Homo-oligomer: A and B are copies of this chain.
Amino acid sequence: MTDEATAFAPGHVTAFFAPYPDDDPAVAGSRGAGVTLSDGVEVTVRPAAGADDPTVLLDGEAVEVAAVEGVLDALAPHVGGTGTGADGDADARVAAVEIRTDLPVGAGFGVSGGAALGTALAANDAFDLARSENELVRVAHAAEVAAGTGLGDVVAQFRGGLPIRLEPGAPGHGAFDGLPARPRVEYVTFGELSTAEVLGGDLDPVRAAGEAALTRLRRTPSLPELLAAAREFADDAGLLVPEVAEAIEAAEAEGSPASMAMLGRTAFALGTGLSDAGYDATACAVHPTGASLRPVETE
């Protein structure tokens, strides 16, 4: 029995959303829909013997990820703190967190949400915390909301597939449906877009456009309708940026429904439209499941 654990969370591209902030971060969230990706975030947590404070590495570099720190704080004194463990060993309960991802960071793929969720799942296992999945998702969602880096990624990343967020918030508040489809997805990224900046601005037009898109998708829950609703949302919410708009038009000209990742300078498309149009696009699949622990090798 090792006390190290690894969890995987799929990436999540939001197609459209209607934000609902709240003072309670478990109640805050967004309604909307998106695509979870086979490309994602892997997180390993182990006790950091001898360390005074938790360490967080992203692809080998020391980083500060507010949502991950929030998760460790919420699980303290069992994980993040320097309390005395059951065995009387003062530093056996400090976590060393290693995050690995091939996804672009800050470009609308839910890397911070996936890192928070993976940390919660892995820490629970590594430190034998006996929390349920709903409790761990709640901790990660609340940490991500408090950090201002996302409103709906964590719960979508836990669910997997093509999640439709019917009601905002953590388990116990939120509610889901999903589209039963498993298309090939391509994406191309032109750089970062600050989620915190958009979420700090006027949310009324975004919310109105997001609700209109959700109503449309619930009337016809199909893949073409998801992309059409997403495209309309991007225009109506005023969030489309020029280089992404250009890539979307190019993919559509090749017959691929496409839209913008909310929030990132990223275009995503179904099928092969982006690469057919000459973009250096990355291809992946819809992730069939949500985030989970990596099984321990048994044989």
Does chain B have a CB within 8 A of A21? no
Given A131-B180, A177-B171, check contact A160 B220 (CB 8 Å): no
**In which size bucket is the chain A interface?**
35 or more
Does chain B have a CB within 8 A of A124? yes
Segment among A144-152, A260-268, A281-289 that sits at the interface with chain B:
A281-289
Chain B CB within 10 Å, residue with most, of A218, A272, A296? A296
State the CA gap A296–B285 with chains docked (Å).
10
Residues of B within 8 A of A182 (CB): 292-296
Residues of B within 8 A of A295 (CB): 182-184, 285-286, 288
Does chain B have a CB within 8 A of A83? no
Does chain B have a CB within 8 A of A215? no
Selected from B132, B285, B289, the residue in CB contact (under 8 A) with A160 is: B289
CB atoms of A177 and B132 under 8 A apart: yes
CB atoms of B177 and A133 under 8 A apart: yes
Does chain B have a CB within 8 A of A298? yes
Chain A positions 180 through 207: 1 when the CB is less than 8 Å from some CB of chain B, otherwise 0: 1111100000000000000000000000
Does chain B have a CB within 8 A of A221? yes
Residue of B nearest to A131 (CB): B221
CB atoms of B124 and A180 under 8 A apart: yes
State the CA gap A176–B225 with chains docked (Å).
28
9 nearest A-B pairs in the assembled complex, by CB-CB distance? A289-B289, A132-B221, A182-B295, A133-B178, A184-B298, A130-B222, A288-B292, A134-B177, A132-B177
